[in-house]
Amino acid sequence: MSVPLIDGFGRVHRDLRISVTDRCNFRCSYCMPADGLDWLPREDLLSFEEIERIASLMVRRFGIDSIRLTGGEPTVRANLPVLVGKLAALGVDLALTTNGATLGLLADKLFAAGLRRINISLDSLRPDRFRDLTRRDDLHRVLDGIDAAVAAGLDPVKVNAVMMRGVNHDEIVDFARFGRDKGVEVRFIEFMPLDADQSWSSDKVVPLDEIVSTVAAAFPLVPVERSHSPAAVWQYADGRGSFGVIASVTEAFCGSCDRVRLTAEGMFRNCLFAVQEHDLRGLLRSGAGDDEIASVVAAAVMDKWAGHAINQVHFIRPRRSMSQIGG
């Protein structure tokens, strides 16, 4: 029988985010500096068997029922469908976040391995702007990947767009129309202070209210009752789908957050903005038993802060960027 994974504020955690690699086939300007990052040596990454062991322990001991695979870019990890098959066998709600560039080749294989849901990161629909943001001329590949995900039967297919003032905030309606035309759900995300060049400032954040009012001016909306999901959701009044906004900065959902994270090299994090990590890889490779690993996980979650405190004087920025932590 599992026991809930509870922090000191009574929040139950059921969602595990696993980064399978720190590498990426894009070099997004807000994810990594222009001169790149030092990638982890292959031997430092958790093996598929190590990931499976930790995931299985979390499911059995703590009732984790949702797992999302992230990166870096998870599809650059060789034989990814093998890992998907191992985790799908645990009976959890399994999802993947990707930049979509190789989905044209992988979507069918991932679906066959047991993947059912996917989030595709896409921050501009304009080829020149996409090239500036990612340092790659691959927008056509991402768009083909979205089509491949839909054709493979993945459902829902969500498109994550980080809105940045002065960069892409003028594409809000374009993204809404894209989602309606493609039958995918766009998730607008407020820009968070996890950019690699540490240029984030609050004036670059496009807040939820502005995003919603901009979409509503083009397409009448109907609000959807808020669930435990981090996104607030609106349906289009004409029935042509919905979109969401993840307001991590202006309307933080820390009070209902149920996520914990495992980095590609096996560091356990109780929050995306955690400043401390706990080495599960070291425990695994030193022969630790499940009880010892579970004890470290439970203690780490118990120490979770009430919230990330972005925009407050006591906010502490994590030393690592999003691409190194996992989304």
Return the CATH number at 83.
3.20.20.70
Q: What is the pLDDT of residue 275?
A: 80
Q: How many domains does the chain have?
A: 1
Q: Band the pLDDT of 39: cuts 50, 70, 90.
A: confident
Contacts of 193 (CB under 8 A, 6+ apart): 200, 310, 315, 317
Q: What is the pLDDT of residue 256?
A: 79
Q: Band the pLDDT of 311: cuts 50, 70, 90.
A: low
Which whole-number Å values give the CA distances from 141 to 37, 104, 135, 144, 161, in the listed order? 24, 8, 14, 5, 17
The chain-wide mean pLDDT, for the chain, equals 90
The amino acid that residue 283 corresponds to is L
Residue range 11-36: mean pLDDT, rounded: 79
Alpha-carbon torsion 104, 109, 112, 115, what sign? negative
Q: What is the pLDDT of residue 317?
A: 55
Residue range 98-118: mean pLDDT, rounded: 97
d(CA 287, CA 32): 35
On whether the pTM is more than 0.75, the answer is yes
Helix, strand, coil abundance in the chain, percent, nearest 5:
35, 20, 45
Q: What is the pLDDT of residue 254?
A: 75
Q: Band the pLDDT of 306: cuts 50, 70, 90.
A: confident
Unique residue bearing structure tokens 């998730």: 187
Lowest-confidence segment of 93-102, 108-117, 127-136, 186-195 by average pLDDT = 186-195
Q: What is the pLDDT of residue 287?
A: 98
Q: What is the pLDDT of residue 322?
A: 57
Q: What is the pLDDT of residue 31?
A: 63
* Strand, helix or coil for residue 15: strand
Q: Does the structure show a pLDDT above 50 at 313?
A: no
Q: Which domain holds residue 66?
A: 5-325
Residue range 115-134: mean pLDDT, rounded: 96
